[in-house]
Structure formats: structure tokens, C-alpha cells
Amino acid sequence: MSEVSNQLPADPISAVGVVTSLSKVPDDYYVVTQTTDGSDADLWKDGLFKSKVTRYLCFTRKTGPDVVADMKLIDIKDALPEGFTPVQETMDTKETAMRKKRLCVKISSRVAAETAVYDIQIIAKSKYQLVNYTSIGDINNMGLWYRKGDLPQHLLSQKTYSGAKADMPSNTASRKTTCRPDYEQHSSGSHTMTALDDVPFVISEKFYNSPKEMQQVNLMGITIKSLAEIEEEVSRGCNARLPLTPLAQNAKQTVLGL
């Protein structure tokens, strides 16, 4: 029998079942064999006839993805509460778990649940109440009580985050996978090297030699001449000693003081 204590167990209950024999309890399961006052906690016993049929409640706190978020004890003829699953068969023999009554449990994801069932106790009917426990109903002159508590979600969140961080690739690796094959960055201080680094930049040889003679082009009556043609015309003008213009002649006389 689970001991009644003011201290909340470390782990919540993850599954609830019923067995026919104490020798057939599954591994990692606790079985409630006695009430809190030491009486037999058989859920099937008949007061008029000493039946050989027995049923005992059992549960486990084995860590898994789900937890027992809530429990209800209803009449066999009542409708099943929404979101609850009935414990209909025994775990060891697959026989009917209970008569007249039906135990229902609500299973929830450990990550999503805010509260869960941590302990289950059976007491003699109307004898006394358990502190910090809640009654879910009576069966065979006995009362079923459970204790709920908050789930330490912050610890679970830290473990989940740490695991995800360990599996996450580094930023460098992520950047490498998204780089184009012909352009990969290599960090070296503040300088970023590319695929064009160390490639010589030169002008094609076909642009080295300029054409010897420029073809004359006439644009709107304006003739574009080459440098050689311009120099030749200037030279011819100097040799011919063309007369000075009146403005040039006046400038010459002023300079000479004539």
C-alpha cells in the first residue's frame, strides 16, 4: 500500500490498472492491497458470500510520454465522461475489472498537462478524510481518493531546449550548405575572400594597337579630322604667312608702341 504522506511523490502516475492476483502485478507497478486503516482493499469482495474473485487497484509512475491527468468513478450505466478512458479489463487475465462501478482515467501528454495524479489511496467508507486528497467515489464500502499536483514544466522545457540545441547544426555549417559552389566565403579577420581573388585582371591584346588612320566622318557638315591632319594645316598656314586680322594688327602696334 502506498503510504499517506504530506510530501508529494517525486513523479506523477502515468498509468492505472486492475489485477486479479497479487502475484501477477506487472513490473514497475504499485498495488493497493490495504486501506489506510489496514483492511483488505479488494474491489470485488462480496459481504454475503466469500467469493474467490478478487480485484486490486494498481498504478505506475514509470516515466513516459503521458500522465494520468484526472480520474472518475462512475456507475456502470452512466455515460463515459468526455476525454476519459475506462479501465474495463484486468491487466493479468483480461477479465472484467469491476462490477457495478467503472473506473475512468484521463490520459494527457506530459508536455501539455499542467497537473497530474501523483498518488491513489483507498479508505474505509465515511471513516475519515485524507488531507490534500480528493474523493472520486465509493466502491464496496470503500472510498477511492487521489492526490493531484502541478507538473514541473520548467524542468521539462529546459531538458527539451538543451536536447534541441545539441541536435541543432552550427551557424557556420548552415551557411556553408546555402552557399553557391562558385562563391564560398572564408572569413579572415575583416577581409572576405571570394572566388575572384588572385585572378589577374588584364586588357585584351586586341585593344592594344589603335588604328593608324582614322576615317573621316561628316556630321551635319562638320568634318572630324585626325591630329595629323590638323597639325599639317597649321604648318601650312604658318609657312604661308597669312595677313593679320585688324584686331591682331592693333594689338601688335600697341605692344611695339607704334
For residue 191, tell me if it sits in a domain.
Answer: no
Strands 191-193 and 66-75: unpaired
Helix, strand, coil: what percent of the chain each, to 5?
20, 30, 50
- pLDDT score of 147 more than 70: yes
So what's the pLDDT on residue 248? 52
Share of the chain above pLDDT 70, in %: 57
For residue 146, tell me if it sits in a domain.
Answer: yes
Task: Write down the residue that cell numbers 506530459 correspond to.
Answer: 110
For residue 2, tell me if it sits in a domain.
Answer: no
For residue 84, tell me if it sits in a domain.
Answer: yes
Instruction: Give the H or E element holding residue 156.
Output: helix 153-167
Tell me the sheet residues that pair with 175. none
Classify residue 18 by burial, with Cβ atoms within 10 Å: 0-12, 13-18, 19+.
buried
So what's the pLDDT on residue 189? 46
Average pLDDT, the chain: 76
For residue 26, tell me if it sits in a domain.
Answer: yes
- pLDDT score of 254 more than 60: no
Strands 222-224 and 217-219: antiparallel
Give me the domain span that covers residue 109.
15-153
Q: What is the mean pLDDT of residues 56-68?
A: 96
Task: Write down the residue that cell numbers 484486468 correspond to.
Answer: 90
- pLDDT score of 200 more than 80: no
Tell me the sheet residues that pair with 30. 59
Span of 17-21, 98-102, 186-190 with lowest mean pLDDT: 186-190
So what's the pLDDT on residue 130? 86
C-alpha to C-alpha distance for 156 and 67, rounded to whole angstroms:
14
The total domain count for the chain is 1
C-alpha to C-alpha distance for 120 and 57, rounded to whole angstroms:
9
So what's the pLDDT on residue 221? 61
**Which tens digits make up the pLDDT trace of 203-237?**
666 655 555 555 555 555 666 667 777 777 777 76
pTM above 0.75, yes or no: no
**Nearest Cα residue to 92 out of 29, 14, 20, 15:** 20
So what's the pLDDT on residue 140? 86
Q: What's the length of the chain?
A: 258
Q: What is the 3-state secondary structure (H, E, C) of 62-115?
A: CCCCEEEEEEEEEECCCCCCCCCEECCECCCCCCECCCCEEEEEEEEECCCCCE
C-alpha to C-alpha distance for 98 and 213, rounded to whole angstroms:
115
**How many Cβ atoms from other residues are within 10 Å of residue 77's Cβ?**
7
So what's the pLDDT on residue 179? 36
DSSP assignment of 202-234 equals: ---GGGTSPPSSPPPEEETTEEE--HHHHHHHH
Interacting residues of 176 by C-beta distance below 8 A, sequence separation 6+? 184
Report helix, strand or coil for 10. coil
- pLDDT score of 58 more than 60: yes
So what's the pLDDT on residue 8? 86
For residue 128, tell me if it sits in a domain.
Answer: yes
Span of 45-54, 152-161, 186-195 with lowest mean pLDDT: 186-195
So what's the pLDDT on residue 108? 96
For residue 34, tell me if it sits in a domain.
Answer: yes
For residue 83, tell me if it sits in a domain.
Answer: yes
Domain at 125, CATH number: 2.100.10.50
**Nearest Cα residue to 149 out of 2, 13, 3:** 13
C-alpha to C-alpha distance for 30 and 17, rounded to whole angstroms:
10
